[in-house]
Structure 1
Amino acid sequence: IAESGAIDARGEVDPNAYFLNAWVLDRDGGRIARRNAQDIFVKLYDHQIPPGAASVVHYQVHVPEWVKGGISIEAAVHYRKFDSTYMRFVSGDDAHVNNLPVITLAHDEQRIPLAGAHGPPGEDIGAIETWQRWNDYGIGLLRTDKGDHKGALRQAEHAFQQVDRLGRADGLTNLARVYLRDGDVEKAAAALSTLSERHAGFRPWVRAWLSAQVERQRGNLDSAIQTMRQLLATRFNEARRRGFDFSRDYRAQAWFGRLLYERARRERGDKSARMDWYRKAEQAYQQALRWDPENLAAHYGLAQVYAALGDAEKAALHRRLHQRYRPDDNAVEQAVAAARRDNPVADHAAEANAVYRLRPASVGGGLLAETESTNAIEQQP
């Protein structure tokens, strides 16, 4: 009865579909669509899903009155190497038909009854476990939240509570993330404490990272520092067996540097001890720059550290580097505004909670016309 992501006779995906891509702009707000990576300036949106994460997409569909009993919802993620815009560019032909193969990466189906229908509440046709559905849904909601959508956090909390009730350690772990995002430190601490009791061996490095954040917000800097030292040294047998080396995590190193800097400022009377903490903060920030030379947090932190150590020259250097790598907020706003003004489809996709309306299904139409709901994905050059 309805679909999203159909491909037309020219091989072009419905532009109003949800794309698992990043819409990247140049300084004038134009889309980076011709492999001109040297012109990349800012992202309008990023719908890519990193490993271990998930995404939530909202669809709206009109169910005709003649539909009785129930409906089947089919979702799929499709991949194609290059999109039609790029293929027209490389071919030099505006009428080029994009016939590159489409690969289905993932597929799932659900059958649900309509109001007033008799029978079971719904049928899960796919092979995905219930806890994983709840967990992925919660992760997607947590990634959707940008700090001003409390509703997404409440929904994520409910989802992870279901995961916990099903006996999975992921539930309590992710509940701690929700509470930290929401600023409820005590609830986060309680979730981590229960996690330690019920699932002591579950990814202790994740628990360490979350615990360090809790202890910092509680003001227990020494405890947070000790935990971070263990984490950055990868003192977890399972993590080492899996090839993890957290010392390379430049964001964690920069965060650790900030933690050490805050600890130094607590040493009011003992100047020698204070200088020692500043030196430790310097080492952490430098470790972050080893893996990410343009890390803003590290350059900003080093400017503060060297100022405290009395090294004006190095402090000035890192202030300059921070300014050099820091995005021009005014230019970013202008580029984003231009892109949203000139491309209604991208403007809609950039909304935090965009709703994608399914269109009446085509009859004998494009390549994907038989699916009720699809997520189309094309890799943007």
Structure 2
Amino acid sequence: MTAVRQLTDQETPQLESTFAVGEESVAGLGGAPAAVGPPTKLVAPLGRVSAILRRGETVRVEVVVRTRKLGHFFPGGTVDAFDCWVELKAQDEHGRVIFWSGEVADNGKGPVEPGAHFYRSLQLDAHGNPINKRNAWSTRALMYTRLIPPGAANTAHFRLKIPQNPGDRITITAKLNYRKFSWWNTQWAFAGVRDPSQPRPAVSKDYDDGHWVFTGDLSGVSANPHRIPDVPIVVIAENSVTLPVEGVGAGHRSGPTPFAEQLQLDPEDRERWNDYGIGLLLEGDLKGAERAFETVTKLDPKYADGWVNVARARVLEGSSDAAKPLLSKALELNPNLGSAHYFMGLALKDDGNYRGAYDEFAKAAARYPYDRVVRNQMGRMLFLERHYREALDEYRHTLAVDPEDLEAHYNLMLCYRGLGDMPDAAHEEKLYRRFMADESSDAITGPFKLAHPEDNNEAQPIHEHVSVALGKSEGRRQYAEGRKQEPGARSQESEATRKRTADQVAPSNGGESRQRGALR
């Protein structure tokens, strides 16, 4: 069994936001359940290690998508309107597709299959309809947001079943794809009209329960010729690996082969392992992340951030005593490393040493004076020591950077109450309630999750993808926005009708892929 605990810091209120939250704070982990059991056995990294696949067995393939030289979240812009996803395809020696996640219908011109690994914000209106018409004013609940912070990474997981007759090798190709506008939005923008069978749809500023069909007059559209354009798909990153396949027969065991961990350590892969660990950390796989970061320290013992990241995983799992020696090691290597001081402050905070924690946070703030997360921690330490007026100054620093910072308004409310200043406390409470997450939104997302299992899977912090059903492409009905589509009609209500095989894998993202345990 794998132990699970909540990462949510009970003193940290949750922000109402349809965008991503930075990974530098506990809130950035989204309160994800943290897996703190032993990490899964690993064969990695592909391209370095001699990985072998075996017929009839199941493997987990992991793909790391990382941001490099970006100063913003990826993707940026209107994260509710475009398609950005990981496509993972596996082909056998004969060129037959044996696994495909992230397939696009209509030979690459239609919707992306709904079980793909997306990077987007899936928002819902008051009646649980997807926000897909740039109608952000109707957003009342957030199904999930998946964006990659600057300098961070995301790890996608896929479950691949090896067939009995793939030949002697399988080629796995991962792509990170981008399309400026989603297929549904493009169809709606050019030819969307209200369904004639619904003369009086229920529509308000809060919801749109009406059906749409894409049969509108195209004679007046700006496109030339007058038709709905096929928005091009751009491959941002791509990588392939070919792995040998062993068969059952002479020299091979007939039963399942015990999975043996195999790691190939090369100093040139320090960044690969570090990004892999960041992806696992952000989804709550603390032990997997810790193992990856420990590998980084073996590859480069003088890399201070490697020691900080191991300590970071331990702090999040509650092992602050085990984290402190690692942070001390990092500070020996780089005494001015702000992240080492920050996480040392968190470790001391867990011990109840608020003055020591404040001093560490202050050292981090000296390096990064506009870091609102550090300023909030400094204010919190002062509040816990009942230095309310000094705490007010720290939270004002935060609001100078972000006037809508929820944690600052929450703690300002508490500080003013501590000072007996009830009018200012009431003002901060009003702002806090304005920006706080609406817990009642679960009443909207719950039914949507039941009706859309692929989106429910995507909303889980740690999840796997499986392949679309494979076969002849002719006769397959198109995917669309997770709703059922009537034969012969293009409407808002459509869903992927391809069956999904539970023991196959789904999409993966450009960058690096790694094979993980769980042979069955």
TM-score grouping bracket, smaller chain normalisation: 0.7 to 0.9
- 2: CA distance, partners of 1:21 / 1:33: 12
1:209 and 1:163 mapped to 2: Cα distance? 20
Number of the residue aligned with 1:47: 146
Counterparts in 2 of 1:316 and 1:360: CA distance versus 1, 3 Å: closer
Question: Residue 112 of structure 1: SS of its match in structure 2?
Answer: strand
Q: Determine which structure has the larger strand proportion and give its number.
A: 2
Is 1:255 paired with 2:386?
no
Distance 1:218 1:115, change over 3 A: farther
2:230 to 72, 88, 99: 99
1:252–1:338 Cα change, 3 Å: farther
Contact 2:410 2:428 (8 Å CA) reproduced: yes
User: Does the residue aligned with 1:61 lie in a helix, a strand or coil?
Assistant: strand
Q: Select between 217-226 and 45-54 the one with higher mean Cα deviation.
A: 217-226
Q: CA deviation at 1:62?
A: 2.2
Q: Aligned partners of 1:30 and 1:360: how far apart in 2?
A: 27
Aligned to 1:169: 304
The alpha-carbon deviation at position 187 of structure 1 amounts to 1.2
Equivalent residue of 1:340, what SS? Answer: helix
1:193 alignment counterpart: 328
In structure 2, distance between residues paired with 1:141 and 1:297: 26
Q: Are residues 1:132 and 2:262 paired?
A: no
Check 1:16–1:328 CA distance in 2 against 1; reply closer, same or farther (3 A cut). Answer: closer
Partner residue, 2:287 = 154
Bigger helix share = 1
Q: Is the 8 A contact 2:267 2:299 kept in 1?
A: no
How far does residue 307 in structure 1 lie from its aligned partner after superposition?
1.8
Which residue pairs with 2:245 in the alignment? 114
Pick from 288, 291, 294 the counterpart of residue 401 of structure 2: 291
- Alignment size in residue pairs: 336
1:361 positional shift: 5.8
Rounded Cα–Cα distance in structure 1 between residues aligned with 2:462 and 2:364: 35
1: CA distance, partners of 2:295 / 2:244: 23
Q: Which residue of 2 aligns with 1:238?
A: none
8 Å Cα contact 1:211/1:224 also seen in 2: yes
Instruction: Report sequence identity in percent.
Output: 29
TM-score normalised by length of structure 1: 0.79
Q: Distance in 2 between matches of 1:292 and 1:325?
A: 12
Q: CA deviation at 1:6?
A: 1.9
Match of 2:350 among 192, 217, 225: 217
SS where residue 310 of structure 2 aligns?
helix
CA distance in 2, matches of 1:376, 1:225: 40
Alpha-carbon distance change, 53 to 280 in structure 1, aligned in 2, over 3 angstroms = same
Q: Which residue of 2 aligns with 1:180?
A: 315
User: Post-superposition shift, 1:376?
Assistant: 7.4
8 Å contact from structure 1 (residues 28, 338) kept in 2: no
What is the Cα deviation at residue 262 of structure 1?
A: 1.2
Tell me: CA distance 1:360–1:328, structure 2 relative to 1, closer, same or farther (3 Å): closer
- Pairing of 1:353-368 with structure 2 (within 5 A): 353-359=462-468
Q: Which amino acid aligns with 1:131?
A: R
Contact 1:73 1:373 in 2 (8 A): no
Which residue of 324, 340, 346 corresponds with 2:455?
346
Q: How much does 1:261 deviate?
A: 0.7
- Secondary structure of the 2:118 match is coil
Deviation at 1:175, TM superposition (A): 0.6
SS at match of 2:444: helix
Post-superposition shift, 1:128?
A: 11
The answer to whether the 8 Å contact 2:364/2:374 transfers is no
Q: Residue 73 of structure 1: SS of its match in structure 2?
A: strand
Kept in 2, the 8 Å contact 1:75–1:373? The answer is no
- Give the whole-Å Cα distance in 2 for the aligned partners of 1:179 and 1:263: 26
Structure 2 residue identity aligned to 1:353: I
Distance 2:99 2:243 in 1: 15
Q: Quote the Cα distance in structure 2 between the aligned partners of 1:50 and 1:11.
A: 29
Q: Distance in 1 between matches of 2:229 and 2:146?
A: 23
Corresponding residue number in structure 2 for 1:323: 433
Equivalent position SS for 2:155: coil
Which whole-Å CA distance do the structure 2 matches of 1:375 and 1:46 have between them? 18
Identify the residue that residue 7 of structure 1 maps to in structure 2.
Answer: 104
Alignment partner, residue 135 of structure 2: 36
**Native 8 Å contact 1:4 1:375 kept in 2:** yes
Aligned partner of 1:26 among 110, 122, 125:
125
Residue 327 of structure 1: SS of its match in structure 2? Answer: coil
Structure 1 residue 71, shift from structure 2 partner: 1.9
Partner-residue secondary structure (3-state), 1:347: helix
**1:34-80 deviation line (CA, Å, top 9, x unaligned):** 11222233321122111111112121222221124332221110111
CA shift digits 1:238-266 (9 cap, x unpaired) = xxxxxxxx3333333222211111122xx
Q: Name the CA distance, whole Å, in 2 between partners of 1:75 and 1:362.
A: 20
Query: Larger relative contact order (C-alpha < 8 A, sep ≥ 6)?
Result: 1
With normalisation by structure 2, the TM-score equals 0.59
* Cα distance in 2 between the residues matched to 1:17 and 1:310: 53
Unaligned runs of 5+ in 1: 146-151, 235-245, 265-276, 367-371
Contact kept? 2:153, 2:278, Cα under 8 Å: yes
Q: Is the 8 A contact 1:307 1:315 kept in 2?
A: yes
Instruction: Work out whether residues 178 and 234 of structure 2, in 8 Å CA contact, stay in contact via their aligned partners in 1.
Output: yes
**Please, which moves more after superposition, 53-62 or 225-234?**
225-234
Gapped runs of 5+ residues in structure 2?
1-97, 193-213, 216-226, 252-260, 477-504, 511-520
Offset of residue 12 of structure 1: 2.0
Task: Report the residue type matching 2:317 in the other structure.
Answer: D
Structure 2 equivalent of residue 17 of structure 1:
116
Q: Secondary structure at the match of 2:274?
A: helix
Matched residues in 2 for 1:290 and 1:353: separation? 35
Q: CA deviation at 1:129?
A: 4.3
